[in-house]
Amino acid sequence: MRNPIHRFWEKVQIPFYGDFEEDCWIWVGTKTKIGNGYGILWLKDKMVLAHRFSWEIANGSIPLGKYVLHKCDNRSCANPYHLFLGTQVDNINDMVQKNRQSKGLNRRLETGGPKTSPNASKFKGVCWDKGTKKWRARILIDGKSKHLGLFMLEEEASEAYQEILKGITNGK
């Protein structure tokens, strides 16, 4: 079996000209469909995100509970100079500060995103619950979906989502 580090570098495109630290090093291997194009590689039957592997090559292991974040906001970038460690809250704060958060159905339509179901909401974190005939609000925290409640109005469900998001970004 080939060395995993050699396999990794075969899939990274580093510009020959320009600034070594400044330019993105693009992952040209397999990318995730969900999550909008993070580079992936398989090591010992385990999927590994390319930017995390790049961080580990350059800096050592990633502490438990830490995320590897992109300064450049390019999910395909594997340049360790563009990566930094943070928490999920740091990641959310970075996203909000750079105005990269989803704007719900309207945002997906503006950007040519995927077609949405008739149960989709125009707000992030909100969907129609057919069984209860109410709007459901939920948020993903540490990889787990947290139910925030059922609401008669779509806007109320969105407000519940926004309140929790504010609490997360303010460290509550």
Summarised one tens digit per residue, pLDDT across range 80-120 is 999 999 998 888 888 888 877 765 544 444 444 444 455 67
| Domain spans, the chain | 4-86, 104-169
Q: Are 27 and 77 in contact (CB under 8 A)?
A: yes
Q: What is the CA radius of gyration of the chain?
A: 19
Q: How far apart are CA 117 and CA 21, in angstroms?
A: 42
pLDDT at 155: 85
pLDDT at 103: 59
Going across the sheet that includes 126-129, the strands are: 126-129, 134-141, 144-151
Instruction: Output the pTM of the full model.
Output: 0.59
Flag residues of the chain having pLDDT under 50.
105-116, 172
Q: How far apart are CA 165 and CA 33, in angstroms?
A: 25
Q: How far apart are CA 158 and CA 152, in angstroms?
A: 11
pLDDT at 35: 57
Q: How far apart are CA 52 and CA 71, in angstroms?
A: 14
CATH assignment of 104-169, given 3.40.50, 3.30.420, 3.30.730, 3.10.450? 3.30.730
pLDDT at 171: 58
